[in-house]
Each structure stands twice: as structure tokens, then as C-alpha cells.
């Protein structure tokens, strides 16, 4: 169980931590509690209890629609594990996918670390599976495919960053407010160099979902692929592919039947494509397991939930799977619905964003997109996935150029490079999901006066109704981006704010609505 993972708590509980919004502590020891209580209102619900603390349901005071999960972790109980927690937060900051739980910010004082995370009201996938089994029901193959597709997307993105989750199981998959699956708990996650394997000398993970090599202390990104195969079996058949009362018996069971046979009656209702994908995941040899991004191209998904993407002859150039490139391309042509049209407004917004958007506005919009509901940006999400033909959760220069050209627009490589440099707020040379949404979202359609004010308060953590170098820097740091005073001064100078000046709400609104003044109507 990861440091950030909490055991669900059904009863509503009240204690001092939970009533953080009613406390007005003084001194450095309670600074984090004081700061977080300015922004969030805590009710009477404890979402979970863990070894190191509790997780509370809270509400953004400036946007009642935004509910968050706040994890209050005791530094005393964490001890030396505080470094492990910091590593987990680094991973969460780096990852950006609709199917990975969102990390918002961190507060800290002498006693506690407060992690503000996305609230997932739908509970665990484990509960959904249990409810099905209690009623002697199983997931229909279409239902299973839709769930697995979301998880493959999440894992493909995680692996594209050189990270292995290492503990994929139904308890570590939550259901978000719009039914979207969210991979959580990166407490056991590990960074890997490409094709690297790590001999840690001990078993890490949950035995039923553990790859055979992991029982022996060998770890790599491929352990996640085995876990997905086990989960796929559970969804399709209602049982594990291998059984054992102990880790030793479980491993023996795997080696006794190295190739899954699908002999039980329940598998007769599962398509050959479904069984083929399971077989490619549950390979004893890690190198033979189908990679997550290649699995998304499998014909099984075409039948039940086709991927819409742009046609490109070079989409598989970076595949690390053992499958031959022509085989993958063949699978892709069978499994993917191709669409050669990218919304011209999306391209126009990307160009506008790269040409005239200030650094401060870019920072603000990257904060905004984390608070927007999936329904509001569903069209842009589909557009992102169309361009992301390699299914990594990132758009590189070649993918973007192909996307723009597919829309019938001639573009030079240097123009594409300029767009990526401008949109890429994290500075990794590629466009991630949130950056794409921030650059292409229609301000006219989603901005209300209330939403702009709520965004303003994201930076005004001191609740002084103006933005200064100090509180902008603090807000950026809590969101995981360290920035110097000089950089902030430069950002503000783009809006004619003097070195020792400040930004009030009216000025902030002017900045956010810049380039859109002629068309926008405040609702």
C-alpha cells in the first residue's frame, strides 16, 4: 500500500484535523493548516484512514463545484518515508492523463503534509467488481473492453515517462465524478531507464496481480502489463487466471501452466480477440508481452470501443514490442477508425496561443484546465487523442505536423517547433494533455466572471485580493513549478506591471481575456 493510499472509511467522523476550516492556528507549526483552510472548506466526511494519516473531503471556497480529497499525513508517522512520499508526488506532478488521478497542490507545516488530490466519488473498481460477483454477474465483453481501454491509456502514458506503477489492481483504480477510471497510488512506482530491469531482491506488489519475475525480486515496466492481463481475466471471467494459497504456490501455478488455456466454461462467451489479448499480456517472458500502446491498437478494441485517430504511415516507429512493425501496422488498420480531419478551430487556437499568449496567462490556463469537468472538454479530449497516434499521452513535433497537414493546412517544421515550445509549459519538448487543453480551449464558451475569480484565488493564497510576486511564487511552488522572483517579474512586465506592483482582480481578468476581448461575453 502506497503512502498516499488510504483505507476507505464509510462512517462520517469528526476530529480536529477534519475541522481544519474552523481552526485559526498561529505560528509556523500550523502554517500549512492555516493556509489550506483559507482555500478549502472541510465538512464532516472522512474518505479514508491509513497508517500515516487521514483523507478528508473538502470544497474549494471559491468554486463550490470543485470537490477535492485532502490527505493529511503525519510527518512523525512517516519518518524516513517522507522521501518516498516526495518521490510519489514527483511522479504525480509529471503524469498527466484523464485516466490518472489529478494532483493539485501541497501544503506543509511542522506536523503534517497536506496533499490536495482529485476527488473520485465513484469508489474503487474493486467495489464495482465485487457487486457484480455478488449478483453472480460478469462484465459484458463491451464493458470490459471500455474499462481496459482506459487503463491501457493510463499505463501507456506512465510507461512513456519511463515509470512503472508496480501495483496495478482494482483497489488502486478509482471511478471519477463522470465515471472515468483513474489510476491511483504511485507509492511503489519506480523510474526505469529504457529496457532496464531492476533486481531489488524482494517481492513488491500484490501477489495475485504480480508478474512471475516480480516474485523473485526482478522489476521492470513489463510487470504492469502482466497485472493488466490478470485484471482483464477478472473482468471477463470473474476469477484469477492462476491460484495459490501462498506466493510460492501462486508462482508454481504460473510455471505449471505457462500458457493460459481458457478451458473453463466462462471463456466460451469471450471472443477470440479478447482471449488473444489476454494471452499476449500473460507471457512468462517479459520481453514477449505486448506493450500498452500496441495493445490499444488490438482488434479487440475496434469491435467494442474503436479509437479515432489520424492516419499516419509512421505511427509505430518507436514501438518497443516484440511484434514486427508490419504486424502492428496491420493490427492498426483493422482496429482503428481513421479520421483525416482535425478541427480547424483547434489549430487556430494553437497558433494564437503560440503567438500572443503571455507566460502568466499560460500558467493561469494550465491551472484552470485541472478544475474543468470532462464534459466541458470532451471534444478537445477527442482531438488530442486523434493527434496522439502513438498513444503515449504526449504529442511530439511529428505528430503535430501530421495533424495540421491532415487538416489541409501547410505548415513549416519551424512553425510546429514554435507551437510546441510555446504550449509546452512543463518544458519537456512535447505537449501533454493539460497543455493541449489549455492552448485550445475556447475562453468564450467556458469563462464566467465567477470562474475567473476562482482562478484568481488559486494564486491569492494569502487572501489579500491582489497578486504579488510572493503569492504567485507560492502558488506555483505548491503546484510543483519552482520559479524565481526574476522570472515572475518578467512575466508581470509583459502586462506593464511594475517590479514592485501587483495585480488586482480587474487586471487579472483583463489578462485572462486578452486576445478574446472582441468576442467574449461575460455570463
36: Cβ contacts below 8 Å, ≥ 6 apart: 20, 70, 107, 114, 116
**How far is the C-alpha of 168 from the C-alpha of 187, rounded, in Å?**
11
**How far is the C-alpha of 66 from the C-alpha of 63, rounded, in Å?**
6
77: Cβ contacts below 8 Å, ≥ 6 apart: 51, 52, 53
Question: What is the CB-side half-sphere exposure of residue 202 using CA atoms within 13 A?
Answer: 2
Q: Which three cell numbers stand for residue 317?
A: 516507429
327: Cβ contacts below 8 Å, ≥ 6 apart: none
**How far is the C-alpha of 53 from the C-alpha of 197, rounded, in Å?**
33
Residue numbers belonging to the annotated binding site for ATP: 71
167 is catalytic: yes
- 78-86 contacts, C-beta under 8 A, 24 or more apart: 78/3, 78/52, 78/113, 81/3, 81/52, 82/113, 84/3, 84/187, 85/3, 85/4, 85/113
According to DSSP, the residues that pair with 116 across neighbouring strands are 70, 105
Q: Choose the catalytic residue: 63, 83, 109, 167.
A: 167
- Kindly calculate the radius of gyration of the chain based on its CA atoms and give it in whole angstroms: 24
Q: Which three cell numbers stand for residue 521?
A: 461575453
In SS3 terms, 350-383 reads as: HHHHHHHCCHHHHHHHHHHHHHCCHHHHHHHHHH
Could you tell me the CA-to-CA distances from 164 to 167, 194, 196, 404 in Å, in that order?
9, 11, 11, 32
CB neighbour class for 319 (10 Å; exposed up to 12, middle 13-18, buried from 19) = middle
Cα-Cα-Cα-Cα dihedral sign, residues 220, 224, 225, 231: positive
SS3 of the chain: helix, strand, coil, percent, to 5: 50, 15, 40
Q: Which three cell numbers stand for residue 167?
A: 501495483
Closest CA to 381 of 365, 397, 393: 393
CB neighbour class for 432 (10 Å; exposed up to 12, middle 13-18, buried from 19) = buried
Task: Centre a 10 Å sphere on the Cβ of residue 28 and count the other Cβ atoms it contains.
Answer: 10
Catalytic residues: 167
Amino acid at each position: 500500500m502506497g503512502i498516499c493510499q488510504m483505507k476507505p472509511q464509510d462512517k462520517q467522523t469528526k476530529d480536529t484535523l477534519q475541522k481544519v476550516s474552523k481552526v485559526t492556528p498561529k505560528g509556523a507549526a500550523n502554517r500549512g493548516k492555516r493556509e489550506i483552510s483559507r482555500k478549502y472548506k472541510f465538512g464532516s466526511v472522512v474518505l479514508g484512514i491509513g497508517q500515516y494519516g487521514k483523507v478528508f473531503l473538502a470544497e474549494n471556497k471559491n468554486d463550490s463545484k470543485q470537490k477535492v480529497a485532502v490527505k493529511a499525513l503525519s510527518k512523525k508517522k512517516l519518518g524516513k518515508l517522507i522521501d518516498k512520499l516526495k518521490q510519489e508526488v514527483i511522479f504525480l506532478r509529471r503524469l498527466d492523463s484523464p485516466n490518472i488521478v489529478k494532483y493539485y497542490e501541497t501544503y506543509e507545516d511542522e506536523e503534517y503534509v497536506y496533499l490536495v488530490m482529485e476527488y473520485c466519488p465513484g469508489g474503487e473498481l474493486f467495489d464495482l467488481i465485487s457487486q457484480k460477483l455478488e449478483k453472480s454477474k460478469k462484465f459484458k465483453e463491451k464493458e470490459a473492453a471500455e474499462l481496459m481501454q482506459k487503463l491501457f491509456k493510463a499505463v501507456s502514458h506512465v510507461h512513456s515517462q519511463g515509470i512503472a506503477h508496480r501495483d496495478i489492481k482494482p483497489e488502486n483504480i478509482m471511478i471519477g465524478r463522470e465515471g472515468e477510471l483513474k489510476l491511483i497510488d504511485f507509492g511503489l512506482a519506480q523510474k526505469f531507464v529504457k529496457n532496464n530491469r531492476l533486481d531489488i531482491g524482494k517481492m513488491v506488489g500484490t501477489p495475485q496481480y504480480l508478474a512471475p519475475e516480480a516474485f523473485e525480486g526482478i522489476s521492470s515496466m513489463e510487470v504492469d502489463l502482466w497485472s493488466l492481463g490478470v485484471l482483464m481475466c477478472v473482468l471477463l471471467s470473474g476469477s484469477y487466471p492462476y491460484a495459490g494459497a501462498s506466493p510460492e504456490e501462486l508462482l508454481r501455478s504460473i510455471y505449471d501452466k505457462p500458457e493460459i488455456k481458457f478451458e473453463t466454461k466462462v471463456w466460451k462467451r469471450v471472443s477470440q480477440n479478447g482471449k488473444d489479448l489476454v494471452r499476449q499480456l500473460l507471457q512468462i517472458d517479459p520481453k514477449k508481452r505486448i506493450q500498452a500502446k500496441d495493445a490499444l491498437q488490438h482488434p479487440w478494441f475496434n469491435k467494442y470501443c474503436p479509437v479515432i485517430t489520424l492516419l499516419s504511415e509512421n505511427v509505430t516507429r518507436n514501438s518497443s514490442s516484440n511484434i514486427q512493425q508490419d504486424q502492428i501496422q496491420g493490427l492498426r488498420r483493422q482496429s482503428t477508425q481513421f479520421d483525416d480531419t482535425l478541427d480547424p478551430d483547434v489549430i487556430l487556437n494553437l497558433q494564437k496561443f503560440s503567438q500572443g499568449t503571455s507566460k502568466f496567462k499560460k500558467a493561469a490556463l494550465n491551472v484552470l484546465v485541472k478544475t474543468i469537468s470532462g464534459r466541458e472538454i470532451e471534444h478537445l479530449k477527442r482531438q488530442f487523442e486523434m493527434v496522439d497516434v502513438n498513444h503515449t499521452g504526449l504529442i511530439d513535433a511529428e505528430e503535430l505536423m501530421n495533424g495540421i497537414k491532415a487538416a489541409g493546412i501547410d505548415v513549416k517544421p519551424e512553425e510546429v517547433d514554435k507551437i510546441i515550445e510555446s504550449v509546452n509549459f512543463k518544458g519537456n519538448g512535447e505537449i501533454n494533455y493539460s497543455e493541449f487543453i489549455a492552448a485550445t480551449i475556447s475562453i468564450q464558451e467556458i469563462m464566467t466572471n465567477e470562474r475567473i475569480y476562482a482562478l484568481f484565488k488559486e494564486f491569492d493564497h494569502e487572501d489579500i485580493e491582489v497578486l504579488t510576486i510572493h503569492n504567485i511564487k507560492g502558488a506555483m511552488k505548491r503546484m510543483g513549478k519552482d520559479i524565481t522572483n526574476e522570472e515572475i517579474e518578467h512575466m508581470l512586465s509583459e502586462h506593464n506591471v511594475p517590479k514592485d506592483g501587483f495585480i488586482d482582480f480587474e487586471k487579472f481578468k483583463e489578462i485572462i481575456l486578452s486576445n478574446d476581448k472582441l468576442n467574449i461575453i461575460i455570463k
